[in-house]
Amino acid sequence: MSHRNAPLTPTGRLRLARCVVDDGWPLRRAAERFQVSHTTAARWANRYRQLGEAAIHDRSSRPHHSPRQTPAAVELQVVRLRRQHRIGPVRLAARAGVAASTAHRILIRHGLPAL
């Protein structure tokens, strides 16, 4: 499924790439025909050359890593404190050394009510 602003659907990308790679169309002609910039046409043609049809489909926009994610040890501490003392996010935050919003988000992630 393409995102809302994508100029081409996966089928359109495949057609564009095949015109350039398989049929030998010039990039600018294919870009004009499919109403995209020549850099976009070049990107799809290069991906098609390297990986074939699999490269034409949308890739995940999920980040590869989250460097500012709350450490697992802190999450476990918040959950443990919540289960032991039955206190809300503000008190949990003070004891665990995190922001109240972070404590609340951890509780939500673990399916625990905020109280």
Convert the pLDDT of each residue in 8-19 to its tens digit: 888 899 999 999
Q: Where are the domains of the chain?
A: 10-56, 72-109
Question: How does residue 114 score in pLDDT terms, banded at 50, 70 and 90?
Answer: confident
Between the alpha carbon of residue 59 and those of residues 43, 50, 64, 107, the distances in Å are 14, 15, 12, 31
Task: Note the pTM of the prediction, 2 decimals.
Answer: 0.54
The mean of the pLDDT values for the chain is 91
Q: What is the pLDDT of residues 63-74, one digit of tens each?
A: 999 899 999 999
Q: How confident is the model at residue 57 (pLDDT cuts 50, 70, 90)?
A: confident
Q: Could you give the residue ranges of the DSSP H alpha helices within the chain?
A: 10-21, 27-34, 38-51, 72-85, 89-96, 100-109
Higher pLDDT, 26 or 7: 26
